[in-house]
Amino acid sequence: MGRNAAPAPAGQSAAQEDLVVKFARLMRQRYGARLYLFGSRARGTPQRQSDYDVVAVARSFESQPRLDRVGDRYRLWYEAGGRGIGLDLHCFTPEEFRKELVGLGFVGMAKRRGELIRVQARG
């Protein structure tokens, strides 16, 4: 389903990588979520103002309408150190994520290009 996040890609500092790993850990602890990075940061080609494109996958999202799933997750982003840093977060249930992987949307395209990177939540 994608690669695992390794050392920071070119153009991404260790501090930026730590931000994503901390966020992944918080999301796993709170929601049991797996996180995937895609977009310019996954490709290693971010610009100075690039946001973080992140997919979160968790069974716990099943009880919420899709559009209501990201609200409080931004508080966890801030807690991880992301205040003032852009986040484009998409939350899917495992079933929705499987459908997205084979679809024509951004998740499927990122997977086919090899740019969907699983973030390992250490700790």
What domain count does the chain have?
A: 1
The parent domain of residue 76 ranges over 3-119
Give the pLDDT confidence score for residue 16 in this predicted structure. Answer: 62
Average pLDDT over residues 11-25: 78
Average pLDDT over residues 13-28: 85
Q: Which two tokens stand for residue 94?
A: 């495992």
* pLDDT band with cut points at 50, 70 and 90 for residue 123: low
Q: What is the CATH number of the domain that holds 10?
A: 3.30.300.90
Residues 6+ apart with CB under 8 A from 115: 38, 39, 42, 43
The pLDDT tens digits for 52-98 are 999 999 999 999 988 888 878 899 999 999 999 999 999 999 999 99
Residue-wise burial string across 66-88, b where 16 or more C-beta atoms lie within 10 A, e elsewhere: eeebbeebeebbeebebeeeebe
Q: Across all residues in the chain, what is the average pLDDT?
A: 87
